[in-house]
Amino acid sequence: MPVEVIMPKVDMDMTAGQVTKWHAGEGDRVVKGRCLFEIETDKAAMEVEAPANGILRDVTGGQGVDIPVGQVIAWIFGDGETYTRQAGGQAAPSAAAPPPVSLPVIATRAPAADGALRASPLARRLAKAAGLDLTAIAGSGPRGRIQKADVLSHQAGQSPASPAKTASDDEAILNLFHPDDYDVVPHDSLRKTIARRVVESKKFVPHFYLGVDCEIDRLLTLRQEINQNPHVLEAPDQAAKVSINDMVIKAMAKALRDVPDANVTWTESNMIRHHKVDVGFAVAIPGGLIAPIVRNADQKPLTAIARETKDLAARARSRTLDVAEYRGGTTSVSNLGMFGTREFSAIINPPHATILAVGAGERRPVVLADGHTVAAATVMTLTLSSDHRAVDGALAAALLAAVKSSLEDPIRLLV
């Protein structure tokens, strides 16, 4: 396998250097450890030794020109290696440039021109367990050997901005546990997308949260009436049966229509005021979640919303949604009530400015309008998360109050 000759990084600040003199030319035999070329940085001049024995080929590092650190400037072919032209001259990304090292600097990554794949037993085991193809992983060890850190950083998708950080973070985390005590499961694209989006949201969107309790006995009664109506009951697919969540979607949509200042998206230069109210709703699927969107939800009757959410949820679970069915939207609803969750705060799904988190409907004591009688009622807690750049507290409170009034006086959902 031919060995790279690179522009070495010989001090901390060095980003580029110049070859002042080559001690060997194209086709010359070079000896490992002997001076191969001299370099000059803005601080120093020094000799660089040949990293291997063999024939010098493809010398691209011209004398007297600035060459970025890490750039391949020649190749050394060992005895018995057939010469094939090597790609060279491309600067390594600066973040991946080799760390400062003491001379002699030798290339550690060489292409597998001989077809040999070098990987440590540990790297092989981890790659096999994760179902990874070793040939797709770049080895950072001697002679291009793939090591544990390479497999882990490959798995992590290795953000190009900080490859070393990802690898060492993974290492540091794995080092907390005994290797027998865990399995390494590579992230699929859904997991990566969720992770990226929630991090972006929590990092850049200033969330604040408002909570409200809604008494929903009338809502439950209305739902029962709708679902027992022959028109709904006798539909062949039962798909028009309305869920509480469908009613919350409708209530949120109506509230945004009534409080249009909250139906917005923040961008760095402008406020986007949406004409339509499109409500995403979170669907848990194996390995993650996805939020398909009910378009124009404020315009649709409850039974239409019910048919649409059933269809979208089913296709979300079978992963057959079109991208267009979950892209965009102006708000979302996330409901964990069916799991008995009393209340929670949801992470805004950009480009939305709000998300409504829906808890379980529970029988709870409430104080009646007379101010001192306590009675039992079915109560559901809503939590509205808002992007404070786009929606201020009073506006969010008005929006949430509008949702509450629709749910507590549910005839509003029908008219």
Partner 1 sequence: MNQDIRALSYAEALREAMAIAMEADERVFLMGEDIGVYGGAFQVTGDLIERFGADRVMDTPISELGGAGVAVGAALGGMRPIYEFQFSDFAMLAMEQIANQAAKMRFMLGGAVSVPVVMRFPAGSGTGAAAQHSQSIEAWFAHIPGLKVIQPATPHDVKGMLLAAVADPDPVMIFEHKLLYKMKGPVPAGHYTVPIGEAEIRCAGRDVTIVATSIMVHRSLAAAAELERENISAEVIDLRTIRPIDRQTVIESVKKTSRLICVYEGVKTMGIGAEISAMVVESEAFDFLDAPILRLGGAETPIPYNPDLERAAVPQTPAIVEAARRLVTAKA
Q: How many angstroms separate the Cα of 400 from the Cα of each of 213, 259, 262, 385?
A: 10, 10, 10, 10
Stretch (H or E) spanning 229: none
Binding of residue 31 to partner 1 (CB under 8 A): no
Tell me: does residue 123 bind partner 1 (CB under 8 A). yes
Residues 57-76 that bind partner 1 (CB under 8 A): none
Q: Does 231 bind partner 1 (CB under 8 A)?
A: no
Instruction: Return the number of the residue (147 or 265) whose C-beta is nearest partner 1.
Output: 147
**Size of site (CB under 8 A) for partner 1:** 23
Q: Which of 108, 153, 166, 383 forms a contact with partner 1 (CB under 8 A)? A: 108
CB of 106 to partner 1, least distance (A): 5
d(CA 91, CA 145): 21
372 is known as an active-site residue: no
Q: Which stretch binds partner 1 (CB under 8 A): 135-143, 192-200, 222-230, 273-281?
A: 135-143
Rounded to the nearest whole angstrom, what is the least distance from the CB of residue 9 to partner 1 in the complex?
Answer: 13
Q: Which of 18, 147, 331, 385 binds partner 1 (CB under 8 A)?
A: 147
Task: Give the Cα separation of 112 and 2 in Å (integer).
Answer: 8
DSSP letter string, 92-156: PPGGGSPPP-PSSP-------TT----B-HHHHHHHHHTT--GGGS---SGGG-B-HHHHHHHHT
Q: Is residue 141 part of the contact set for partner 1 (CB under 8 A)?
A: yes
Residue 163 or 328 with smaller CB distance to partner 1: 163
| Cα distance between residue 187 and residue 298, in whole Å | 37
H/E stretch holding 54 reads: strand 54-57
Residue 165 in contact with partner 1, rule: CB under 8 A: no
Q: Which is nearest to 144 in space by CA: 135, 155, 157? A: 135
* Binding flag, residue 148, partner 1 (CB under 8 A): yes
Distance CA 41, CA 15 (A): 9
- Amino acid in the structure at residue 9: K
Between 113 and 239, CB nearer to partner 1 = 113
Of 23, 125, 197, 315, the one binding partner 1 (CB under 8 A) is 125
Other CB atoms within 10 A of residue 248 CB? 27
User: Residue 173's Cα: distance from chain center in Å?
Assistant: 19
**145 is a site residue for partner 1 (CB under 8 A):** yes
Please, what is the minimum distance in Å from the beta carbon of residue 262 to partner 1?
51
Catalytic residue among 23, 187, 207, 388: 388
Alpha carbons 221 and 229: distance in angstroms, whole number = 12
Using CB under 8 A, which residues numbered 302 to 341 contact partner 1? none
Judged by CB under 8 A, does residue 120 bind partner 1?
A: yes
Decide: is 187 part of the binding site for partner 1 (CB under 8 A): no
Can you tell me which of 19, 69, 106, 291 binds partner 1, judged by CB under 8 A?
106
> First vs last Cα of the chain: how many Å apart?
76
Residue 79 has phi, psi (to 5 degrees) of -60, 135
What binding mask, one character per residue, do residues 74-103 give for partner 1 by CB under 8 A, x or -?
Answer: ---------------------------x--
Q: Which residues bind partner 1 (CB under 8 A)?
A: 51, 101, 106-108, 120-125, 140-143, 145, 147-149, 175, 178-180
- Known catalytic residues are 388
